[in-house]
Each structure stands twice: as C-alpha cells, then as structure tokens.
Chains A and B, each alone.
Chain A
Amino acid sequence: MSASIELKAPRIITIEDRGKQYAFTLARITKKLWLRYFEAILSTSENQNGKRVDSFDSSAARLDLVEQCLITANGYALPADKTSIDQVEGWKALLPLSHRLGVANAIISVSASDPADDDPIALGQESVFLDAVWSAGDDGIMRKFHGLCHNFKTPTADQQRRFSRDSSRSRVVGGSRNGKTQWLGAQATLAELYDELIVSVEGYTVDGTTPDREAVVEFMDTYHKVAAVDTLFAPAAAKVEEDGN
C-alpha cells in the first residue's frame, strides 16, 4: 500500500452538492470528543410482547461531533459585508444539515476489511485490517484507504472478559418490566484495550514516518482504535460446507 494516513495533519472533507464543491477543515478529533460522540448515540431495545425491538439513532451525536471539531468551511456564498465564514455569527449552525451529516458520515466511514496479503497469521500476533475515508487530497477528491493494518498482541482472558462485561452493561428507563434498555456501549473500554494490545500499524504516518508504539497510542484516531479492537474481538466465521447429499 503506497498512500498513508497522516495522523497529525488537519482533515479536509469535501462534499459535492448540486455541482458545487464544499470543503470542511476539521481539527484533530480528540479521544474526549470521540467518547462524547459514543455516549450521545442512542441505542435502545424494547421488549414488546416478548420480542426484542431495537432502535438506533446517532444523528444528534454526529451533528454535535461535527460542530465540535469543525474549524472552517469553504464554498458557501457569504453576506456582502463578510470576507470569511468565521465572521458570520453561529456559522456552524447555518450550514445545511445534509452537509453537516455528510461530513460526519465521512469521518465515521471506517469498516473492517480482508487482509491484503495471503500470508498465514503469525502465532501470538493478530492483525486487523480496516478500510477508511480520511481526508481529501490536494486535488480535493476524497479517497478511501484500504487495508490499514493494526497488529495486536493476542488478548488475554481478562481483556476478553472486560470487553464482554462492558458490552453487556445497560441502563433501563421506565421500569424493569416495561422499560426501555439503553445500551451503554463499550467504546471507552475498546480504546483502552487498543492501547494495551497494539504492537504496530501499517498505512499510517506521524510527521511523515511510520509511528512507533508510543506514537500510535498517542496519535491514532480513537474511532479507528475502537473499530480495530471491535474487529479483533469479533469471532471469525467458521468454514462450513453444505452437505451435497
């Protein structure tokens, strides 16, 4: 893989709408901001006559995240007496809702991917691969990075237990029988486990060079940390063949 994600560079997200391009510059999203985002996600389950009915809403969390980390935006027509968008009071709230959600969707566009090579897995080390959208290039085009590699130590039974425990924690609102379960999420634990388990990464740079373990812990985007460890703990699919008889 040739292109790398530079973890310290500001992120620029571009959106095209009705033939015009809009660019959004974001500050580095800190762990605190990501945890605030995860906590604001509403993931609930209700018991309706013995059946589980789930609902999920992250739109308020996404809008808040963008508002917190947006530095500037370009491409919009400004009032006659203004020369830059930050002279407009409350400019972030004036951006079209669809643009703000589009920016949020770009920064959370991270998914597990298949390994880029055919080598068997080395014992004692586990590799997780992610695909992610990060930032627009100099040409203003957003690209997806493929096969971002995170090499981990094998988790201990205790680390596995902490993940299971914190994934199973919830709060019930409205009574233990008829109430709604709010899932609390284990993202904070996942980020901690990443820092404990990470050995090295490929596909990322810090100041232009491959980061050592300490730099990975310090500069890796928390959303990538959470996505990588979540994948690490996900069970691998068994190879099952249909009976031909």
Chain B
Amino acid sequence: MAIDVWRDAEGVRMALEEIFESDFVRSRIQREASGASPETVERMERQIPPRTLAWGYYRFGEYLLHLDALQRAGIGFQVRDLAGFEAEGILALGRARAAFESHHPACGSCGTRQQNRFGRECPGCGAKFQRRKE
C-alpha cells in the first residue's frame, strides 16, 4: 500500500526529529573538529545518526522547515492559502521541535543547546547547572 507522505503527519514528525538531531550533532562536530585530522573528523562524523525513514519524509520535512522560516521572518501566508496537509505539517514540526528542545535544553546563560538534560556544566560558556531537587 502506498503512503502519501504529505498526509502522514506522524512520519513527517519523526523525520523532522531526526533532522533536528543530526543537525545538532553535525554542528557540535564542526565546533569540536577544528584542527582535527581528516581521519578524526571522519570518525566523529560516524556519530551523526543515520536516517531511518523513506527519503520522501525528509524532503517534505525540509519544505515545512522552509515554510516555517518564512513565517518566522514575517512572510506569513493566509490560512486560506495553505492546504490542510501543510497546516498539519506545521503542527507536526512544532511537536518535533518541542521534543528536540526537551531532549536538548538551552543554557539559561548563553543559549547553547545541551547534549542532554543531565549535564552539570554548559560546554558553551562554562555555566554550572544545579540539579533540581526531587
């Protein structure tokens, strides 16, 4: 059975989470790999999580990211101009972004996204985090 990718909001959400995650790892590698040998960079790039879904999900996810960027830049579209599946896609993008931001909270001092929620020190500015008491 064929799946219309643009109607599969859950598949698109999963693809967007993977895009966010791989972009996060890629930018961390770029920061850490300055001056490293090509072999080291290649080894570090193996940390980038592989894409696990059919390719169409990522392409549609990239379109939604572009649409979202336009809206954030103030180039908004009228609701009547958007198809239902685009609106659903934007909601899926919101869910994927919220999940990513929950896994990688931003440092309150400098905004750097953290590797996970359990770090004690920001790798960006060195700010110390206090663990919340249960």
Contact = CB atoms under 8 A, between A and B. Distances in A.
Interface of A: 45-47, 49-50, 52, 157-158, 161, 164-165, 167-173, 175-183
A68 B53 CA distance: 38
B66 interface: yes
A1 B120 CA distance: 71
Interface stretch (B35-43, B57-65, B96-104, B126-134): B57-65
Contact of A169 (B5, B53, B54, B81): B5
A177 B3 contact: no
Shortest 6 CB-CB distances between A and B: which pairs?
A: A50-B50, A170-B56, A181-B56, A168-B63, A45-B55, A172-B54
A180 B56 CA distance: 9
B123 to A, nearest CB: 26
Interface string B50-89: 1111111101101100110010000101000101001000
A176 B59 contact: no
Contact of B57 (A50, A176, A183): A176
A211 B66 CA distance: 38
Dominant SS among interface residues on chain A? mixed
**Size band of the interface chain B makes with A:** 20 to 34
B50 A172 contact: no
Interface string B1-28: 1111110100100000000000000000
Contacts of A173: 1-3
Interface of B: 1-6, 8, 11, 50-57, 59-60, 62-63, 66-67, 70, 75, 77, 81, 83, 86
B5 A181 contact: yes
A175 B53 CA distance: 9
A21 B51 CA distance: 52
A51 to B, nearest CB: 8
Contact of B51 (A47, A161, A178): A47
Contact of B55 (A52, A157, A167, A169): A52
A180 B60 contact: no
A170 B52 contact: no
Contacts of A178: 54
Given A164-B63, A181-B5, A171 B56 contact: yes
A168 B62 contact: yes
Nearest to A179: B54
